[in-house]
Amino acid sequence: MRGYFLVAIIIDHLNFFPNGLDWWSARGGLFVTAAEGFFLISGIVLGIVRGRKLINEPMRKVTKLLLKRGFQLYVTAVVMILLFTFIGWIFYMNNPGLKPGIISPDTNIFTVLWQTFSFQYYYGWADYLRLYAIFLFISPLVFWLLRKGKWYIVLAMSFLVWLLFPNDPAVAFETQEYLQPLSWQVLFFGGAMIGFYWPKIVKIWNDLKQPIKRFATISLLSIAGVTFVINVLIMLSIMGFNFDAIGVNPQLQHDLCVNFFDKERLPLTRILLALIWFWAGFYIFKKFEKPIVKTIGWLIIPFGMNSLYVYTLHAIAIFFVHLYLTGGELWWNFIVVASIILAIRLCIHYKVLMKVIPR
């Protein structure tokens, strides 16, 4: 699933549509994107690997591993921000394909360094690394509480931090993006709690009577299916398809996004929909695991196992693709998108720069 989400993120960030792979990510135009699933599953994996599996290890060892990984992500994020900024300044300031948001070249270099090191400034296509670094630095406290059975304190703290995000759609986008760690930590630490208690959750599910499990599964898939179809219709209305007869139009998309599904603010409605779609997706991947692995396992499994490496490579690739290439006909867009994805897959196979880029 993590590999699938990464491919979707690459397709969305390239933004070469139509490309024949639009279905993979729905062009990032739904009320929930692959990013939410990626954060949630990353938290779950961390909860299992650094939480439950190390439950009998000293907390000092767990803390060391978490901080080491957090520092690794922090350094990677800082290097990527500065690298993209300096390359942009030196070579591409007049290139229309340069990603917006780069700090002015007239800015004092010490100001740039300070704002980068403190994550007041972030730039490029790997900006979500700052979120992971921040969350990992906080993770030792979270796992310490979970080890003591204080999951309700973790839940309460996460909820209170989420409340700190300004609940006002009029807040400038730059401010919302800067405050995004306040809202998105819910997904990461919610996933960490799920991962930590994964064996208990599985046991509770397995102990349920078959009719209850069947009812829960059918209900989940039905709600996920209906909401997904409605969302797709709303998205298609933006692309020019006319669904006015059933009340679906671009204005509805705008109103719902602003009030209920804003990506940075991450309101409860978006969190709830993300959870519904995630677990429906989990069921589908589990149910059809063998054919999925047989057909696209060669791609999504290596991507999922080397997620940080893939995310970093995709950031570099997309930065330069936008500088030199533009979208066009479907066939051209497909070639560009497929080439980037396959190139990253080859880099994994041949371990290109794996000693430099964290996995």
Query: Over the stretch 217-269, which tens digit does the pLDDT of each residue have?
Result: 999 999 999 999 999 998 888 877 888 777 788 888 888 888 899 999 999 99
Task: For 183-218, write each residue's pLDDT tens digit.
Answer: 999 999 999 999 999 999 999 999 999 999 999 999
Produce one character per residue of 269-308: b if its CB has 16 or more CB atoms within 10 Å, e if not: ebbebbbbbbbbbbeeeeeeeeebeeeeeebbebbbebbb
DSSP helix/strand/coil, 137 = helix
Residue ranges, the chain, pLDDT below 50: none
Which residue reads 């692309």 in tokens?
Answer: 239
pLDDT at residue 107 in the model: 97
Q: State how far the Cα of 15 lies from the Cα of 8, in Å rounded to an integer.
A: 11
Q: State how far the Cα of 134 lies from the Cα of 132, in Å rounded to an integer.
A: 5
Q: What is the pTM of this model?
A: 0.94
pLDDT at residue 224 in the model: 98
Respond yes or no on whether the N-terminal peptide bond of residue 18 is cis (omega within 30° of 0): yes
Which residue reads 């179809």 in tokens?
Answer: 229
The dihedral built from the CA positions of residue 31, 178, 89 and 87, taken in this order, carries a sign that is negative
pLDDT at residue 317 in the model: 97
Amino acid letter, 63: T
Which tokens in the block code for residue 317?
Answer: 């690739």
Q: Could you give the angle at which helices 268-287 and 34-46 cross, rounded to 10 degrees?
A: 70
Contact between residue 310 and residue 318 where contact means Cβ atoms under 8 Å apart = no
> 65 burial class (0-12, 13-18, 19+ CB within 10 angstroms)?
middle
pLDDT at residue 17 in the model: 94
